[in-house]
Amino acid sequence: MEAFAPGSVTAVFAPAGDGDESKGASVAVADGVVADVTPADGRGDEPVVTVAGEPTDFEPVELALAELDVPARADLTAEVPIGRGFGASGAATLATAIAANAEFDLGYSREELVEVAHRAEVEAGTGLGDVFVQDRGGLVVGDGGEPRRYGRETPIEYASFGPIATEEALADEALMARVAREGTAALDALPVDPSLERVVRDAWAFAEAVDLPTDEVREAVAEVEAAGGVASMAMVGETVFAVGVEGVLPNRTAVCPDGAELR
**What is the domain count for the chain?**
1
Report pTM.
0.89
Look at residue 85 in the predicted model and tell me its pLDDT: 87
Give the Cα-Cα-Cα angle 15, 16, 17 (nearest 5 degrees): 120
Cα 257 to its chain centre, rounded Å, is: 15
Average pLDDT, integer, range 24-39? 95
Name the residue range of residue 45's domain.
1-263
Residue 247's pLDDT band (boundaries 50, 70, 90)?
Answer: very high
DSSP code of 255?
B
CB 86 within 8 A of CB 100: no
Q: Is the peptide bond before 255 cis (omega within 30 degrees of 0)?
A: no
DSSP code of 8?
E
Q: Give the best-scoring range by mean pLDDT among 44-53, 142-151, 198-207.
A: 198-207
Please state, in angstroms and rounded to a whole number, the distance separating the CA atoms of residues 197 and 206: 14
Look at residue 39 in the predicted model and tell me its pLDDT: 94
CATH number where 73 lies? 3.30.230.120
In this predicted structure, the answer to whether residue 172 has a pLDDT above a threshold of 90 is no
Please state, in angstroms and rounded to a whole number, the distance separating the CA atoms of residues 258 and 60: 23
Q: Is 5 exposed, middle or buried (0-12, 13-18, 19+ CB in 10 A)?
A: buried
Average pLDDT, integer, range 227-253? 94
Mean pLDDT of the chain: 90
- Percentage of the chain surpassing pLDDT 70? 94
In this predicted structure, the answer to whether residue 163 has a pLDDT above a threshold of 90 is no
In this predicted structure, the answer to whether residue 19 has a pLDDT above a threshold of 50 is no
In this predicted structure, the answer to whether residue 170 has a pLDDT above a threshold of 90 is no
